Every structure is written in C-alpha cells, then in structure tokens.
Chains A and B, each alone.
Chain A
Amino acid sequence: MPLNMIVCCKQVLDPEAPPASFKIDPSANKVIPPPGVPPVISPFDEQAIEAALRIKDQQGGKITVLSLGNNLLRDVVKKPLSMGSDELILLEDEAFEGGDSWSIAYALAMAIKKIGEYDLIFCGRQAADWDAGQVGSGIAEILGIPSVTVAKKVEIADGKAKVERVITDGYQVIEVTLPALITVSNELGEARYATLKGIMAAAKKQPTVWKPADIGLEPAQVGAAGRRTKLLKLFQPVKEGKCEIVEADTPAEAGAKLAARLREVKII
C-alpha cells in the first residue's frame, strides 16, 4: 500500500566542523559560519529521510521534503531529493529566521496542513544546532496526531506503524495508528548516499517556495517574532586547565609512565 510521507529537514552549520573553528558573535547572539565550511542537512534529519526511503522501497509511496529557513542553499536542501525523495517544499523567507521550537513547529505544521494528505511524518530526533528535540512532538501536537520519538526501526502493516523506540539500555516495540509522526535516531543505521541518477533527477526539480502568507500566517506569528522563549545569551564557556602530555622514548614507555603519573596524583 503506497504511503504519503512528509519529512522535515533542517539546514544547519556542519556539526562535523572542527571545534576550533566554532566562533560566536556575542553582540548578535549568533554563530559566525566558519569560512569554507558549507552547511549541511542536520544528520538526524538525513536518517529521517532514510526511514522514509526504506518504507518507499518496500511498499511504494511519495516523499515530500519540507525545509524551513532563509537563504537555503539549493545544493544542500536538494540532497534529500538526490537520495530518492520526490518533492521539495521550502518555507523560505527572512520572517522565518530566528525562531524557537514553538514558531518553527507552528510554521511547519501549517505547511503540512496545506500539503493536506499524509500517512506519516518523519523528523530527526533533534537538530544539530540547538539540540532541543521538540519540533517533531510539537508538530504532532498541533496537528492532533500521535507521535513516537527516537525510532530505530519503522515498519508498516495494516494501516499501523510498528516502531522500535530506543530507551535507556534497550528498546520498546510500539504500535501506533496512522497518520502519525515519528522522530528518528542514528540507531536506525547509516543514511544512504545520493546516487548519480538521483542527483541528476534532483537537478531538474524546482522546489516550491512558500512565504508566511502562503501558509496562512502573519510575519508576527513566525520566526523570531513568533517565539515563546527568549534567547538571553549565546556564549562559549571559558576553558581552563591544560593537558599534561606524558612523553617518553617509545609509546609503550609513555603508557607505563602515564600509569605511574596517575598513581602519583592518586587518581588510581
């Protein structure tokens, strides 16, 4: 039975960028994008795409990708298309910038209402920038559908989803009625690479672009203006302390010397 699936994907600064390149502009409470490091799709969102693609592989269906932001790089936001998704819708406008989980979830939910038909919505478990892990549950609450979070496996049978949900020291198998929203975790497994065929198909596709008015919202309801929390300060904690490098003529001698040093300072 082919399924209508929607996947929310966020463009973020590359979380794999070296920590030394991470800098903040304190006056703007913003991260300064490291030069020469392009943004990426938030990694857990790629796993959300993978979860949808596995279902499409098994029983067919359509995957619509939804991304919200401003100045979205087409190369980046089209990657889910290159992986095998069918359609891309962008909520792209200056007004969408600076949102918190509330205003972001609200805009995405209104876009999904406009899309209309869906059996499954997938989100990453948390975005690699703010690490909150709220938008998925928020969208589900606004749409009035059930949600299952932190999934490592999703199977469909008899109009229901069977989800393996990661818990501390194990997992649960949860059955949920459709339509439902599922957030996906890395335990699902590696997201597939884009294929050459996929990249070429994606190059031909033009994303649909929606502004706040297209989804029935005023600028005051979205982005920074629509926030329910306030960001007071974004900062890097000062790192104190220095690492004592234990040296010796050979690595093995250094290992032995390290043990002796730990004994000296009474750590062992």
Chain B
Amino acid sequence: MAEYKGVMVYGELVEDRLSSITTELLGCGRRLADELKEELLCILVSDKLGEAPKKAIVFGADKVYTAEDSLLKEYQTDSYVDVMEKAVKAISPRILLFGQTSIGRDLAPRLAFRLGTISSMDCIELSIDPGTKGLQQTKPVYGGNARATFTSETFPQIATVRQKAMSPLAPDESRKGEIAPIKLEMDPAKIRTKVLETVKEEVAGIKLEDAQAIVTGGRGIGGPDGFKQLEELAKALKGAVGASRPPCDNKWVPDTMQVGLTGKIVTPELYIAVGVSGASQHLAGCSGAKNIVAINKDPEANIFKEARFGVVGDWKQVLPALTEKVKELLAG
C-alpha cells in the first residue's frame, strides 16, 4: 500500500495565470506541509498553462504537477475527475486541498467518492493534530449559525477551502522547485457532458470580490428602484453594490450580486447593509468585512449583532442624508 505523503493543492487559473484562491491555498498548504515536515505539491489542469507552474513555485510549492491537454480547455466533471484520480493514485498525497469555487464544489466531492472518501466542504480553518498528524477541518454549518470540526478516517484527506479564508505567502521569485508534467491518455468518449455555451453576466464596475467598500441591499429595499440609491452611495465610496438573497430571488437585481453562503464571499474595509435582516446565510458572505454598518428599522434585526455601527430607522430617510454627508466629507 502506498504511503500517503505531502500536501497537494489543486490550483485554478484565470486564463493562464494563477487565480487568487490558488495563492491562498498555497499559503495554507505551505503552513500544513511545514508542520508535517513534508512537501507542498501543486497540480494544475488546463489546455494551456503558460508561466503558471513557475508562479506556483514562487508562491510556495515545492513541486508542480502539470496536466495539459486540449480536451481540458473547459472544466468538465468527467475529464477532470479522471485526470485527478490518476494523479492522486500515482502521487498519494496525505492531504488534498481545493478552493470552494465553482470548480472545487463540483470536482472535490465527485473525486472524493471516486477515491472512496468524502471532502470537508467550505473550510475556514485547517490544522494538523500534533498527535495523530491528522487534518482537522473546521467549517461553518447550519447556514453559518455554528461551526463543525471534522477529521477524515481515510486518505487522502480532502477539503475545500473558503475563498479569502487563508492568506497567500509573499511571492519569492528566488524559490526553487520542480515542474513535472503528467502523462495523460485522454479519451473523449468518456466525457458524458458537452459545454454548449458559456455566458458571462458580469455587472459593470468594480467586482464585489475586489471592492473595499460595499453597499448591500436586502429585502427591506422593497424593489429594484431602491437599489439606485445604494448605487449612489457605493459610487461615492468608490465601491460596489451587493444584495442578500431575497432581492435576487425576487429578480430585483441579478443573481451575480448575491453575497452569502452560496453567493460571493467578500472582505471589504466597509460593508454597509441596508434593509438586511442579517440571516446567517448572508453573514457567511460578509462576516470577513473589517467594518459592518447596518441600517434597519427593526432594532431586533440579527445584523446588529454583527455590525460595528448601526442606525435603527427607515433606510429611505437615513440613506439620502448618509450619502450626502459622505460626499461632503470625501470632497473636503
């Protein structure tokens, strides 16, 4: 039986560059690998990897495995699970980490079951038990109302990691590492899906994930029109507008604006929640904000338990004055 050794990170790319989740996973993986006194491995799967493997070394990997094939141009479950199954069986990592991303949410569970195990999904903390050397995996549950810590009984120990939960290492261009291409035997007949179309629905302006100021509207906004006022405040703060789930489910705003457990995870300096009750599933998306400010006419709203500052009142009366004063202060 192969010995399970090493921490492996499944890296993701934006075109042919490492995405930020990859650098975060490498930062976390480096810490775990150092504690275990084992190697940090990275695996990159795509049709065109460019300089990304070298960058993975710069961000902490000791060895980067590459799987490059034209059939891997787009993520599809069957092809990616097959490639990862082959890689994991050949390399036998002790720990395998994915991002809790569109790909990770699909790939990690299916691959885990293929390997006779399961993944811990959406982890915000990972640590090594010094006694057993086992991976302790902590994740939010019950919509964010609680946390659960798991350990795996089988190898590899698999986890997906929430975006922005971990920090990347400072890039070190002088780091040395190895790049090892994986020999692939892709069989197109084994891919049971076909990607017919990819449709981008990006909202104009700063992306929520990058914004340092976010103004979010909840059910209390009452309709699409109110969001124009939120846009005005966001613009003054050079930020972006987000939404909790009810405005998205009611089709007042596009789904891509949703901040929350199954939406975007954001960590701005300033998060202003307007007419948002503060359900745990929403807080899961914004609790990483440095400063949460809440405006809600219900003094008992859960959002006030998370916020640093708040105003209890009707947002229709609070917001215009807030926006005007913000503009005044930022102009002077």
Is the C-beta of A167 less than 8 angstroms from some C-beta in chain B? yes
Q: Which residues of B contact A18 (CB under 8 A)?
A: 302
Tell me how far the C-beta of A182 lies from the nearest C-beta in chain B, rounded to whole angstroms: 11
Chain B binding site: helix, strand, loop or mixed by DSSP? mixed
B85 to chain A minimum Cβ distance, whole angstroms, is: 11
A148 to B76, CA, bound (A): 9
**Complex contacts, A137 vs chain B, CB 8 Å:** 106, 109-110, 113
Q: List residues of chain B with CB within 8 A of the CB of A251.
A: 311, 313-314, 317-318, 321
Contacts known (A15-B143, A232-B151); A168 close to B110, Cβ less than 8 A: no
Q: Are B293 and A258 in contact (CB under 8 A)?
A: yes
Encode A1-39 as 1/0 by CB contact (under 8 A) with B.
000000000000101101110101000000100000000
Verify if A71 is at the interface (C-beta below 8 Å from B).
Answer: no
Q: Is B311 touching A255 in the complex (CB atoms < 8 A)?
A: yes
User: Contacts A101-B109, A234-B141 given: A246-B153 contact, CB under 8 Å?
Assistant: no
Q: Mark B117-132, 1 if CB is under 8 A from A, else 0.
A: 1111110000000000
Q: A230–B280 Cα gap in the complex (Å)?
A: 25
CB-contact partner of B145 in A167, A168, A236, under 8 A: A236
* A21 closest partner in B (C-beta): B145
On whether the beta carbons of B145 and A19 are closer than 8 Å, the reply is yes
CB-CB under 8 A for A232 and B329, given A138-B118, A173-B195, A268-B270:
no
| A150 nearest CB across to chain B (Å) | 7
The complex places the Cα of A205 from the Cα of B76 at a distance, in Å, of 40
Tell me whether A204 is interfacial, beta carbon within 8 Å.
no
Question: What's the tally of chain B residues with a CB closer than 8 Å to chain A?
Answer: 89
Residue of A nearest to B107 (CB): A137
The answer to whether B110 and A140 touch across the interface, beta carbons within 8 angstroms, is yes
- Residue in A105, A231, A237, A244 whose CB lies within 8 Å of B310: A244
Q: How many residues of A contact B (CB 8 A)?
A: 84
Point out the residues of chain B lying under 8 angstroms from A267, CB to CB.
269-270, 291
Q: Tell me whether B69 is interfacial, beta carbon within 8 Å.
A: no
- B109–A186 touching, CB < 8 Å: no
B90 on interface, CB distance cutoff 8 Å? no
Q: Do the beta carbons of A175 and B196 come within 8 Å of each other? A: yes
Residues of A within 8 A of B106 (CB): 137, 147, 149-150
Question: Interface digits, A165-193 against B, CB 8 Å rule (1 contact, 0 not)?
Answer: 01111111111110010000111001000
Contacts of A141 in B (CB 8 A): 110, 113-114
Name the contact of B249 in the complex, choosing from A15, A186, A231, A239 (C-beta under 8 A).
A186
Q: Whole-angstrom distance between the alpha carbons of A148 and B195 in the complex?
A: 11
Q: A137-B113, A177-B192, A246-B309 are in contact. Are A20 and B302 (CB under 8 A)?
A: yes
CB < 8 Å neighbour of A228 from B117, B302, B330: B117
Answer yes or no: A214 CB below 8 A from chain B CBs: no
Contact of B154 among A15, A228, A246 (CB under 8 A): A228
Contacts of B120 in A (CB 8 A): 132, 229
- A139 (CB) vs chain B CBs: closest residue: B113
B residues near A60, Cβ cutoff 8 Å:
none
For the complex, what is the distance from the CA of A102 to the CA of B150, rounded to whole Å?
Answer: 14
Min CB gap A147→B, angstroms: 6
Report chain B residues within 8 Å CB of A138. 109-110, 112-113, 118
Stretch in B40-48, B172-180, B198-206, B219-227 touching the partner:
B198-206
Please indicate the chain A residues that have their CB under 8 angstroms from the CB of B192 in the complex. Answer: 146, 176-177, 180
Contacts of A125 in B (CB 8 A): 262
The answer, yes or no, to whether B15 is at the interface (CB within 8 Å) is no
Report the Cα distance A187→B263, complex, angstroms: 11
Q: Report the minimum CB–CB distance from A193 to chain B (whole Å).
A: 15
**Complex contact A131–B141 (CB within 8 A):** yes
Residues of A within 8 A of B317 (CB): 250-252, 255
Q: List 8 A-B contacts (CB under 8 A).
A: A175-B193, A180-B192, A235-B147, A251-B321, A255-B318, A255-B322, A260-B329, A268-B213
Would you list the 5 A-B pairs with minimal beta carbon distance, nearest first? A255-B321, A259-B325, A251-B313, A255-B322, A251-B317
Known: A131-B143, A172-B199, A173-B199. 9 other contacts (CB 8 A): A168-B101, A190-B249, A231-B150, A234-B141, A243-B294, A243-B310, A251-B321, A259-B322, A262-B309
Which residues of B approach A to under 8 Å, CB–CB? 77-78, 101-102, 105-106, 109-110, 112-114, 116-122, 136, 139-143, 145-154, 192-202, 213, 237, 245, 248-249, 255-256, 261-262, 269-270, 278-281, 291, 293-295, 302, 304-314, 317-326, 328-330
